[in-house]
Amino acid sequence: MTPRLYCTRLTLTDFRNHAELDLALDARPVCLHGPNGAGKTNILEALTMLAPGRGLRNAGLLDIARGGADAGAARPRPWSVSARMAADGEEIALGAAAERTDAGVRRITRLDGAASTAAEFARVARMLWLTPAMDRLFAGAAGDRRRFFDRLVLGAAPEHGQAAAAYERAMRERQRLLNEDVRDRAWLTSLEREMAAHGAAVAAARTATLDRLCDTIAGRPDGAFPKADVALEGPLEAAFAEGRVSADVEDEFFALLTRVRPRDAAAGRTVDGPHRTDLIVRHAAKDMPAEHCSTGEQKALLLGLVLAHAHALADDPGAGPALLLLDEAAAHLDPVRRAALYEELLALPGQAWLTGTEPGLFEAFGERAQLVAVGAI
């Protein structure tokens, strides 16, 4: 299958260890190989600067500049990333850069030369990624799983990030008032209305994404990557799963927030809400919680989830293909499962990007992938 979304050119300036980098590419998967420290992951991170959020490493704008935030007396260089994406036969230019202002540094983004937003980027160039830090996702903190799932939601609903950020801002302001014992009922009510509206939107988008993901998993044949049973554990998501309408979910959450003000003031935090939702994953064939599976099984489950979501996005008329960025994903797979992964990637309509220390890791691709050597710094 010829990808319907792929990067034809990627240019970096003063990004991490790359003073200048210019890659001309075709539609095949991109396999970046080179020694540790050469900057392979930095290239993937640069691509994620063209997506909503803080990128693959969740780094600050100064941290990703060449020299970093602690570059001594010298001020870190402003960085820039630009890419040309082919999407359904049309080429789109995306760009992101750090810009100095009187208030500090901000990220600016451009789409075909015009000022834009990362959320608008996500509508034309969706991205999914996996990193080695995610290998123990299922055994880690609930917040990590929630952020992982929210990244999946962004692929289908770019506005999800804005709703989540607005919810968090309103929640922090409400908690500040409670902590400082500011008894302004009108102010608190307004913030709780805002939290309820944005919280319901967040939960609705998560539930819709979960439903599509589960349908896709159920329809996929058994293969090298185990199927997962996936659920969201949160009261708002549970209400949507039961078929409740958004207005009712919002009103009930608002009533709860109003009722538990004394409890949240005493706790110093908002106890209930979509900011505490957890992603629950089980190995379907073994009927075993993912966190109880072996490290290898957990990695295979995670890969299977991301592959299924990539298929779900591609089949969703309201979404579309996504670039799939896999950092060191093949290194710890046996040859059979590695070859199966490559076949899965070739069957997707979005271009895959992979990293590895040795070109031999990508041998199963043959001529169906493009190998890019990344030199040591």
pLDDT tens for 59-107 read 988 889 987 655 443 555 689 999 999 988 899 999 999 887 777 788 8
pLDDT for 240 beyond 60: yes
Q: Where in the chain is the domain with CATH 3.40.50.300?
A: 1-131+327-377
Measured between alpha carbons, how far is 59 from 67 in angstroms, rounded to an integer? 14
Q: Where in the chain is the domain with CATH 1.20.1050.90?
A: 139-318
Q: CA triplet 121, 124, 129: central angle to 5 degrees?
A: 75
Alpha helices in 227-331 (DSSP H): 235-241, 246-259, 261-267, 295-315
Distance of CA 128 to the CA centre of its chain: 6
Q: What does the pLDDT read at residue 70?
A: 53
Q: Which two tokens stand for residue 91?
A: 């080429």
Q: What does the pLDDT read at residue 317?
A: 87
Calculate the average pLDDT of the chain: 92
Mean pLDDT over 236-253 rounds to 97
pLDDT digits (tens, 9 = 90+) for 345-367: 999 999 999 999 999 999 999 99
In the chain, the percentage of residues whose pLDDT exceeds 90 is 79
pLDDT for 58 beyond 50: yes
Measured between alpha carbons, how far is 170 from 289 in angstroms, rounded to an integer? 34
Q: What does the pLDDT read at residue 375?
A: 86
Q: What does the pLDDT read at residue 123?
A: 82
> 27-31, 69-73, 151-155, 205-209: which has the minimum mean pLDDT?
69-73
Element (H, E) at 186: helix 185-219
Q: What does the pLDDT read at residue 72?
A: 44
Q: What does the pLDDT read at residue 54?
A: 85
Mean pLDDT over 260-272 rounds to 97
pLDDT digits (tens, 9 = 90+) for 113-132: 999 987 788 888 899 999 99
Report helix, strand or coil for 137: helix
Residues in the chain: 377
pLDDT for 210 beyond 90: yes
> 37-41, 232-236, 373-377: which has the minimum mean pLDDT?
373-377
Which residues neighbour 46 within 8 Å (Cβ) at sequence distance 6 or greater? 10, 12, 15, 16, 18, 81
Class at the top of the CATH hierarchy for domain 1-131+327-377: alpha beta
pLDDT digits (tens, 9 = 90+) for 174-195: 999 999 999 899 999 999 999 9
Measured between alpha carbons, how far is 46 from 12 in angstroms, rounded to an integer? 7
Assigned architecture for domain 139-318: Up-down Bundle (1.20)
Distance of CA 126 to the CA centre of its chain: 9
